[in-house]
Structure 1
Amino acid sequence: MLKFLESYNEKVKKNVLENAPKNAKYTSNDVQKEILHILATKVRNSIREEIGDVKFCIIVDEARDESKKEQIAIVLRFVTLDSFVKERFFDLVHVTDTCATTLKKELISVLSHYNLQVENIRGQGYDGASNMLGEWNGLQVLFLKDSPQAYYVHCFAHRLQLALVEASREVLQIHEFFTHLNSIVTIVSASSKRHDQLQEAQTIENANLVAQNELETGKSVNQISTLQRVGDTRWSSHFNSICSLVKMFTATNIVLNNIIQDGTTYAQRGEAYGVSKILLSFEFIFTLHLMKEIMGITNVLCQALQQQSQDILNAMHIVSTSKLLLQQLRDGRWCNFLANVKDFCEKHEIEVPNMSAQYVFERGRSRQPIVTVEHHYRIDVFLATIDS
Structure 2
Amino acid sequence: MAVVLRFVDTEGFLRERFFAIVHVTDTIAATLKKEISDVIGRYDLHINNMRGHGYDGATNMRGSWNGLQTLFLKDCSCAYYVHCSAHRLQLALIPAAEKEVSIWLFFLKLNSICNLINASPKWHGELHSVQRIEVADMVATGERDTGRGCNQIENLLRPGKTRWSSNFDSLCSMIDMYSSVITVLENMVNDGASNSIWSEASGALIMMKSFDFIFILHLMHKIMGITNLLCRVLQEKSLDILSAIDYVSTSKTLLLSLREGLDLLLSHVKEVNM
Q: State TM-score, norm by structure 2.
A: 0.85
How big is the shift at 1:185?
Answer: 1.1
Deviation at 1:134, TM superposition (A): 4.0
Q: Aligned in 2, Cα 1:111/1:167: closer, same or farther, shift over 3 Å?
A: closer
2:191 matches 1:262: yes
Write out aligned runs for 1:55-204 (5 A).
73-78=2-7, 85-94=17-26, 103-104=29-30, 106-110=31-35, 116=41, 118-119=47-48, 121-135=50-64, 138-204=67-133
For the 8 Å contact 2:159–2:170, the answer to whether it is kept is yes
2:24 is paired with a residue whose SS is: strand
2: distance between equivalents of 1:218 and 1:259? 33
Q: Deviations over 1:159-198 (max 9, x none)?
A: 1122111111111000000000111111112233322211
The residue type equivalent to 1:88 in the other structure is A
Deviation at 1:290, TM superposition (A): 0.9
Is 1:209 aligned to 2:138, yes or no? yes
Aligned to 1:318: 247
Pair member with larger Rg = 1
Give the aligned partner of residue 231 of structure 1: 160
Q: How far does residue 74 in structure 1 lie from its aligned partner after superposition?
A: 3.7
Instruction: Choose the corresponding residue for 2:268, options 320, 340, 345.
Output: 340
Q: Does the C-alpha gap of structure 1 residues 206 and 253 become closer, same or farther in structure 2, counting only changes over 3 Å? A: same
Task: Give how far 1:289 is off.
Answer: 1.0
Instruction: Say whether the 8 Å CA contact 1:297–1:322 is kept in structure 2.
Output: yes
Give the number of aligned pairs.
265
Alignment match, 1:251:
180
Deviation at 1:121, TM superposition (A): 4.7
Cα 1:263–1:124 change in 2 (3 A) is farther
Show CA shifts across 1:92-137 (max 9, x none): 2236xx5xxxx23x33444677794654655433221345324465
1:346-371: CA deviation from partner (whole Å, max 9, x where unpaired): 2xxxxxxxxxxxxxxxxxxxxxxxxx
- Asked if structure 1 preserves the Cα contact closer than 8 Å seen for 2:40 and 2:47, the reply is no
Q: TM-score, structure 1 length as denominator?
A: 0.62
Contact map agreement 1:177 1:287 (CA 8 A) in 2 = yes
**Counterpart of 2:171?**
242
Of residues 221, 228, 231 in structure 2, which corresponds to 1:299?
228
Is 1:284 matched up with 2:209? Answer: no
Give deviations 1:51-73, integer Å, cap 9, x for gaps: xxxxxxxxxxxxxxxxxxxxx75
Q: Distance in 2 between matches of 1:177 and 1:277?
A: 13
TM-fit CA distance, 1:288:
0.6
2:25 counterpart letter in structure 1? V
CA distance in 1: counterparts of 2:243 and 2:72, whole angstroms: 31
Code of the aligned partner of 2:220: M
CA contact (8 A) 2:3 2:24 kept: yes
8 Å contact 2:24–2:32 — kept in the other structure?
no
Match of 2:149 among 212, 215, 220: 220
More off after superposition, 209-218 vs 316-325: 209-218
1:324 is displaced (CA, Å) by 0.9
Rounded to whole Å, the distance in 1 between the matches of 2:37 and 2:68 is: 17
Q: Which has the higher helix share?
A: 2
1:274 is matched with 203
Tell which deviates more after alignment, 237-246 or 106-115.
106-115
Paired letter, 1:233: T
Letter in 1 for 2:188: I
* Structure 1: unaligned runs, 5 residues or longer: 1-71, 347-388
Contact 1:78 1:87 in 2 (8 A): yes
> 5+ unaligned residues in a row in structure 2: which ranges?
10-14
C-alpha distance in 2 between matches for 1:240 and 1:134? 31
Contact 1:301–1:318 under 8 Å retained in 2: yes
